[in-house]
Structure 1
């Protein structure tokens, strides 16, 4: 009698696979995390995740390989291909053979791969027998337009390879899951993927015998310490704060008992800047090292003291009891806990109280830290403050402290506000507002809006006054152009203050580092006349701006424009060849006049399309004036009802003289 031909089949498919795989696990982190948790339950000591360079390639694949206990052919049939297989019930234990708390509970995570791939190939070797089984599942075949959740007839699974038991193969035990036919639009960033995996599992903090690698690098669950401002419960001692009753501190973690006797562990951290990442912001709940509740704030809403602190908060709570109840308290996709049942109320109440207390503590600590920063920042202004009468100085100091308590203001914003307050007081502005600031014990949202609005007015006024000054200078230059009195000294002044004629050049600075290269290219293009030209080379980041001022009285004709084009083009080539930091070279030619011929005008348009502008002095100043006026209009719109701004807007720009000594 011949031996039976090995085969595998699956009875549940159709919409079950679509719902439990494709619909629930469309994130690569969520899908692969489920497969990693299966490796944990298989007592693997190492899991290797390999991500492809190009997910759009037909040959792209994601591979999850572990050295766990593996499966025999019969176990593949009874466990893997049995939808809803309950490992805990089958083994009559919630622990793995090695004593680990099991992560898997519902027996559906194995289909998570279908959320990001069409094909799931399983290659598994049993640690017990050395039997090897390789099979492949095709989501399209499994679904096949089915509208039912269960088919009465089993579906044969593609069995690629089966090797019978062999003791010599037991050393190669483990399982390799290969996902092919990927549906991802782009490859997940490896570093972000690694940290996201770590945040989901908390495995590295508690398990020395389990290692996860992504493209050969171990995932890390260690936060960037430099970005963390406060870490509780450790910060209670660091800042001499009272420790809540009943709290035991175990290293970085707090240990407490809830009102029903359940034991939890927790750690909350506040970052220096808003987190801006939904996966981190708020408090996550874990059970047996696996995510049970996505980040939230225990359903708190409205009227919270220090409410802005929520955007800086990332917390973790280990509540294993949630996964040890007779009924499921955790949703199937392990994204949320059922907070409407009696069993979860003690944790919910504890979380609300702890979060509210820490939000207030964060606000107080930030104010304390900013007060110290105030003292450091005020020190350079001591001479200015010393000129104030003692009562005035006390008012300004108290006003700055009130500003320091505004949680929505980061360090850079606070520095600007503090400078604005000091300058406004010295100038006799907004004294009533500063008095109010000094008297404010707390700052609600309406007061904060008022402060920020006044700060906006102050900033807009200061900027508008500067813009008006620039406009006056430009008017003066326009008068000189009309009188043909634009002497070389004025050109030199413009060369040293390029932002005067182009607001967008405000970030540029004079670049001396490539002077030899500029001279070499100028000699090659202009010959003996190169030294008679007035050149200005500016830089900002990776961009170079070359400004050529033609000598007074000269008209830019076709020949001038051709030489200018060769000059900028050759300089571009030379700069790139020099392996410098600069990757973009633009040009501007300024002359007393531009030839009016049609071919010259066409040449100018062509050059402009290649980032090589050419203009005369009237055109340059006209454009500069329009830009500064547009900038002024923007500033005026920030404080349209302010009387001082209205006076600036109504005042006509007056010509201002300029000399090389300015």
Structure 2
């Protein structure tokens, strides 16, 4: 037996322990497909109580030879896949290139074993590799033995008692996995993937496929520009994040939050050949290196999803009118009836699949929904449960709709307020806890979170965009801010010898406006080790003046807001930022620009005060438990490791 040590640090490997179970299963399936397998089978072995205690992924591929085993489990990021674009024999496109797929087993269990048979010099040879979650860089490779068995690989993962993989056990798990493999399975129809007894067939669940063009700057324009392929499903799936894909649509990673739409079940695939050669770290840095592309993709998705909601709702309502079942006269409605009708339209659209198809039961269901809305919307809960066979997802959507409000726009506003209160509480927690503050990295953790929540600096910046043309001017004068300052678009260059992001001050910039008036926001995120004083204040004031007086912007009708955001500032500058008749923090007030210096406590207090009225109306408190759960669910990839560790009893595998 040979013990091999993976040539990379253990902290880097432990990131794979936090991957989602379905994503981990997908990577193991891809490993089989990259070995030219035509059949991959995923089995979930259960205990008498129904809990999964073993996961077995088997394939009929070419297997792992002894030399490949030693290379694959010793090297990180430099495997045979990195030197090829297609599988052996040039049969199919390769999915993986970075040698990371096997590490996804760390998200699934405690013990792992690969039993693989490969043909070497005309003989079939068996190789067995084992490892454990507790020692993620140590792998044992048993001496190869000759066998009469056919080529292929069986991966066995032992799940510890008490751990639940609910995402793997759910009824929509096969559809969620099919969504990740959809383009590959469509391109190679001879391949069969089986999950827990279900043969995956994307065609059975695809409703429609539309390619969305993106509004992008010239740097992305080519013969094969990035596109978003919007795949609408016949059934509702729970995994709805945007998938980052190569040009062929093979999923490489997830991005962002779930597209949790009550009407349209879809998965967006951001496809671009530029993603093909990126590592996990490269893709993790996309919010900084390709923010413009991600923003354009999200805008296109929102626009198309909104259009589809209107179309689907219109079709449902028109069908009810044709059947003579629509209960509203749309010509003369009071304001209350307008609200009621809009809610009715949304409810029947969300529940359209559960409505009886025809006859008296269909009419009764429609009448009961309308009567409940007219008399007491709280009755709708029991009516929907008694009359309609709703899926858990449909029931959850309608439950939130009924409980929170009657209008989808107000539902969205309420969710936004709650998310903001949770984010403020979460950021306070990160900055107040000494351990978390020490672990919090500016480049790839704090910056992405702030970039997604620019409302902290004013509501007007919520929909602001990164300005490509502004970058050159900001970079030209960057030296005025001192050493170790980087533009957010240059953060991929900021790294230490261990590969993790270094600690620098970060310049974040956005713009809004139209042909009449433009506004620009420049935020310098200071490191926690820097206590801002006279030198830093003079630097940012000098930088602001240099920018507005640059020939490119001199005389241009524009209002600039420069914010120096810091953990702490010195008493020596308090008089500069606490001037009579000036808002707190305003250090330089000019016609074209303003320079602000604020510590995070002041920034968060100001944002929280703006939400105080709504918080009282909602009777919502951002408790420590709520904000911690929110950070783990919404910003898992951006929070320190200490906060990612879920205490015993709270884990949800």
Class of the TM-score when normalised by the shorter of the 2 chains: 0.3 to 0.5
Q: TM-score, normalised by structure 1?
A: 0.45
Larger radius of gyration: 1
